[in-house]
Amino acid sequence: MTETVRRPWPCLLVVLFAAFMDMMDLGIVSVAAPSIQRDLHSDYASAQWFMASYALAFAVLLIPGGRLGDIYGRKRVFMTGVAGFTVVSVVCALAPTAGVLIAARFVQGGFGALMVPQVLAVLQILFPATRRGMALAAYGTVMNLAQLSGPILGGIMATDDLLGLGWRAIFLVNVPIGALVLVGTAVLLPESRSDRPLRLDVTGIVLVALLAGLVSYPLQQGRAAGWPPWMLAALAAALPAGLLFAWHQRRRGPQAALVPVALFRRRSFVAGIVLLLLVYTALLAQQMVVIWHTQIGLGWSPLRTGAAGAGWVLGLFLLGGFAVTLAPRIGRALLVSGCLLVAASIAVLSEVISHDALGFWRLFGCMTALGCGLGLVVPILVDLVLAGVPKRDAGGGSGVANAVIYFASAVGIGLSGLVFFGQVSAGGDAHARAQEYRVADAGPGAADALRACVHDRSAAADPYRIPASCRTSRATDPVVAAATTEALRQNFADSAANSLWYPAGAFLAAVALAPLLPRGSGTADAGDADDEVVAADGSGARPENPAGPRVDVPLN
């Protein structure tokens, strides 16, 4: 179905509610992750999986989700995704253990991958090209609101213990939204599907899942497990798995392949995919380091962390529309400027943390400056990557780019934990020694108790579980306890400051790759898409940009 719907705006409102629910959920969970970890008595690796499992499932199933909508009907697949997302949200809220929550989040990400790709496809159907700008602007605005409200709502719910539910309320909020979306979809939304014969590449999906698992699982679990040989072997096996997937896609041919192999013969597209990996692994790594440092190291509430961290959304909003307007002419220059500003902002934040000067307004200011840099990067990056892609492959390229973004998000969470908690574990002894002067007059055994407690707390997989060495009579002496607290706080601060240099360096590396991209999003041979149905999954041609910042990727 491609005809124009008589009353498209109520239909658009319904699908935008679903997109809002998905994006808001990402922000809520990220800022509440330490609270969930504390309540479920889980380790650092499990806390990382609370977010990474969703992003990983979403990345693997994003392109197939769009293809399923083309084959079986977008309304049907959309409603399946919304219903599943809503039901699994209840399972998340009732999860008794970290393992149950991780499994539920993975399933939730799969249903999200059925739901979200249909949104832009439906938008293309509801509005003709001449009226689509306003609709896309509404889409961009809703995504921005979801980005802004997610961390703040997550902070409020996790901090204020609404109705005695604590963090569990962050998942239950999806239930009324999902129910309203289901009713509105059933009543208002027309059915549509592709008029071309399409097939689902099941083998390709399995190979993508294998590749994603071989990379992400060792990154998430390797440090906690002590890097057993089989995990290193799994990482090494990722390369042949990727080659096998490429061979399979070439064998399937351009019509049946999950990913158009011809895209990877274009230097600008390959460079763009690497750039997407750098930007989004770095972005998630930076955000997780800040969340862990403020909530675990400094003892901030989730609300305070979420409110201070929301500065980046303000910065993104301030410059996002400006970037979209100028991207067709000078997109590459904007990208370079934005990456440099982000790198500089992260470097300043690292210095502020290392000098023990981080407060609410300093963090808010650094995040606002970082967000201004992101405003020159995020709304235009995918369009720049796709600028050199012909129309016939634009949908496939868009699907690959968006899947890479979600995969990079999962990898970024793993890398941040690997680097940050590795630093915390390695730095405990040195910071304990630096505080020994404070217990010099506390009697015999005070220094030994200090060193033992700081070492065990720093090396612990669960920061909220007090080891036996910290419960002895010497360790609980007020003087020793104060020195221990200071050593741990300094250890977290130095670890955070050092860990932030990775995302700063990644944005600088992105600057080095930028010359391989087209000069602007309107200068290549791809051109604008016509009325062919498209989604972020790659099920058709690429949609136009919203008249405001296009934020349809996980940024928090």
Considering the entire predicted model, what is its pTM?
0.85
Q: What DSSP letter does each residue of 119-151 carry, written as one string?
A: HHHHHHHHS-GGGHHHHHHHHHHHHHHHHHHHH
pLDDT for residue 163 is more than 50 = yes
- Residue 544's pLDDT is what? 40
Give pLDDT tens digits for 341-373.
999 999 999 999 998 889 999 999 999 999 999
Average pLDDT, the chain: 84
Q: What is the residue extent of each domain of the chain?
A: 1-190, 201-253, 265-424+499-527, 425-492
pLDDT for residue 184 is more than 70 = yes
Highest mean pLDDT: which range of 90-99, 133-142, 152-161: 90-99
- Residue 11's pLDDT is what? 82
Of the options 1.10.20.140, 3.40.190.10, 3.40.50.150, 1.20.1250.20, the CATH number for the domain spanning 1-190: 1.20.1250.20
Q: Are 380 and 324 in contact (CB under 8 A)?
A: yes
What are the C-alpha distances in Å from 45 to residues 91, 218, 421, 422, 440? Answer: 21, 11, 10, 12, 37
How far is the C-alpha of 23 from the C-alpha of 555, rounded, in Å? 9
pLDDT for residue 97 is more than 90 = yes
Of 341, 369, 391, the residue nearest 527 (C-alpha): 391
- Residue 442's pLDDT is what? 82
Confidence of residue 224 (pLDDT cuts 50, 70, 90): confident
Confidence of residue 251 (pLDDT cuts 50, 70, 90): confident
Q: Where are the alpha helices (DSSP H) in 387-500?
A: 391-434, 446-459, 478-499
Confidence of residue 193 (pLDDT cuts 50, 70, 90): confident
Structure tokens at 162: 């609404």
Q: Can you name the CATH fold of 265-424+499-527? A: Growth Hormone; Chain: A; (1.20.1250)
pLDDT for residue 1 is more than 50 = no
Question: Is it true that 1-190 and 265-424+499-527 share their CATH fold?
Answer: yes
Give pLDDT tens digits for 513-536.
999 988 887 654 444 444 444 444
All residues at 6 or more sequence positions from 473 whose CB lies less than 8 Å from its CB, including other chains:
none
Helix 8-40 with 117-126: angle, nearest 10 deg: 170
Q: What single-letter amino acid sits at 126?
A: L
Confidence of residue 316 (pLDDT cuts 50, 70, 90): confident
Of 536, 403, 402, the residue nearest 116 (C-alpha): 536
